[in-house]
Amino acid sequence: MYDFTYAKPASLADAAKALGADAEAKALAGGMTFIPVLKQRLNKPSTVVDLSALGLNYIKLEGGKLMIGAMTPHGSVAASADVKKAIPALAELAGNIGDRQVRYRGTIGGSLANNDPSACYPSAVLALGATIKTNERSIATDDYFQGMFTTALNPGEIITEVQFPIPEKAAYAKFANPASRYAMVGVFVAKTAGGVRVAVTGAGQNGVFRHAAFEAALAKSFTPDALNGIATPVGDMNADIHGSAAYRAHLVGVMAKRAVAAAK
């Protein structure tokens, strides 16, 4: 790891200032991806700005919405009675990210800011039509994800909260990469007042994406059988030593059916 200056601002304004003042400064949330990256010397920040003292670790269920502070760790989301009540699928998703140790440190904001193409959270956020609040604005989820490791965030912009509308029912089905246990294919389905949304992580060449064909079919009939015969374009899929594009395309269908069957 290259050395850097460490800052732990006590206010959002100070954090934004620290990040805004220096293009080489980087924000540190849970660090579960960022610290390994630093260890491999793949990133050389001048200043690391620790966001843990900004009061962003909270979960609130208010006004028909679930609000999760950006620095809330996965383990807290998984264990939260409010989350289990409002969106049980989200609690379950959070409870299967990484491992126990990672879930104590890794945060929802960090995951979304990084937008790893095989992370779980982006699929939930996209399928549930969540709103991403930052120190500057609110970003609709459909505008937020812009390809792998790329988001709508401006340099220095800090996610503060994720607001989830409550779906009628939802579920997440994940096929884990055997080695890393990241999502090789993860499908989040949500049936909401506004329609059905299906988001797929892990599989696509360009990060998380919505599956329009599945959404259309499920809008007509929210059943696993509704997905029979609907192919996922193989050409859009990622391929690596753990599985071909054809295998991933197939798994998207299998996981989507499982998620529909499990939705509650």
Partner 1 sequence: MVVDGIGASVKRKEDLRFLSGRGNYVDDMNRPGQTFAHFLRSDVPHGKLNKVDISAALKMPGVVAIFTGDDFTGVGGIPCGWQIHSKDGTPMVEPRHPVLAAGKVRHVGDPIAMVVAETKQQAKDAAEAIILDIETLPAVAGLTAALAAGAPLVHDEAAGNICFDWHIGDKAAVEAGFAKAHKIVRLDLVNNRLVPNAMEPRAAIGDYDVSSGEYTLYTTSQNPHVIRLLMGAFVLSIPEHKLRVVAPDVGGGFGSKIFHYAEEAALTWAAGKVKRPIKWTADRTEAFITDAHGRDHISTAELALDAEGHFLALKVNTQANMGAYLSTFAPSVPTYLSATLLAGVYKTPAIYAEVKAVFTNTVPVDAYRGAGRPEATFLLERIVDVAAREMNMDRVEIRKKNFIPKEAFPYQTPIALQYDSGDYMATFDGCLKAADYAGFEARRKASAAKGKLRGIGISTYVEACGIAPSAVAGALGARAGLYEVANIRVHPTGSVTVFTGAHSHGQGHETTFAQLVSEQLGVAHDMIDIVHGDTGKVPFGMGTYGSRSLSVGGSAMVKAMDKIIDKGKKIAAHLMEADVHDIEFKDGKFSVVGTDKAKTFGEIALTAYVPHNYPIEELEPGLEETAFYDPKNFTYPGGCHIAEVEIDPDTGTVSMISFTAVDDIGRVINPMIVEGQVQGGIAQGIGQALLEHAIYDESGQLLSGSMMDYTMPRADDIPNISVGMEVTLCTHNPLGSKGVGEVGAIGSPPAVINAVVDALRDYGVRHVDMPATPAKIWALIDAYHPKMAAE
Partner 2 sequence: MPQISLTVNGKPASATVEARTLLVELLRDKLHLTGTHVGCDTSQCGACTVQVDGMSVKSCTMLAVQADGANVLTIEGLVNADGSLHPMQAMFREYHALQCGYCTPGMVMSAIDLVETHPEGLSEEQIRHGLEGNLCRCTGYHNIVKAIAAAWPLMHNKALPVAAE
Tokens of 196: 């059905």
Question: Pick from 26, 133, 197, 250: which binds partner 1 (CB under 8 A)?
Answer: 250
* Segment interacting with partner 1, rule: CB under 8 A, options 61-69, 152-160, 206-214, 224-232: 224-232
CA gap 246, 31 in Å, rounded = 33
- Tokens 């709508």 belong to 152
Give me the least distance between CB of 164 and partner 2, in Å please.
Answer: 25
Question: Pick from 42, 193, 212, 241: which binds partner 1 (CB under 8 A)?
Answer: 241
First to last CA, the chain: 45
Name the residue among 263, 94, 244, 260 with its Cα closest to residue 184. 244
Question: Pick from 75, 109, 122, 253: which binds partner 1 (CB under 8 A)?
Answer: 253
* DSSP states of 194-232: TEEEEEEESSBTTSSEE-HHHHHHHHH--SGGGGTT-PP
Q: Is 104 in the site for partner 2 (CB under 8 A)?
A: yes
* Segment interacting with partner 2, rule: CB under 8 A, options 36-44, 115-123, 134-142, 221-229: 36-44
Give me the least distance between CB of 66 and partner 1, in Å please.
Answer: 30
Q: Is 105 in the site for partner 2 (CB under 8 A)?
A: yes
**Parallel/antiparallel/unpaired status of strands 131-134 and 169-176:** unpaired
Q: Is 181 in the site for partner 2 (CB under 8 A)?
A: yes
Beta bridge mates, 14 = none
* Segment interacting with partner 2, rule: CB under 8 A, options 13-21, 44-52, 185-193, 245-253: 44-52
Q: Is 2 in the site for partner 2 (CB under 8 A)?
A: yes
Give me the least distance between CB of 48 and partner 1, in Å please.
Answer: 16
**Which CB sits closer to partner 1, 130 or 256?**
256
Cβ count near 31 (within 10 Å):
17
- The SS3 assignment for 47 reads strand
Phi-psi sector, 173: left (phi>0), alpha (psi -120 to 50), beta:
beta
CA 231 to chain centre: 24
Tokens of 199: 């988001």
Cβ count near 11 (within 10 Å):
11
Q: Is 84 in the site for partner 2 (CB under 8 A)?
A: no
Tokens of 185: 């294919």
Give me the least distance between CB of 40 and partner 1, in Å please.
Answer: 8
Name the residue among 136, 168, 171 with its Cα closest to residue 152. 136
Q: Is 235 in the site for partner 1 (CB under 8 A)?
A: no
254 binds, among partner 1, partner 2, none (CB under 5 to 8 A by kind): partner 1
Question: Pick from 179, 193, 212, 264: which binds partner 1 (CB under 8 A)?
Answer: 179
Binding site for partner 1 (CB under 8 A): 1-3, 40-41, 175, 178-180, 228-229, 231, 240-244, 246-247, 249-251, 253-254
Binding site for partner 2 (CB under 8 A): 1-6, 8, 28, 31-32, 35-36, 38-40, 48, 50, 52, 75, 98-102, 104-105, 180-181
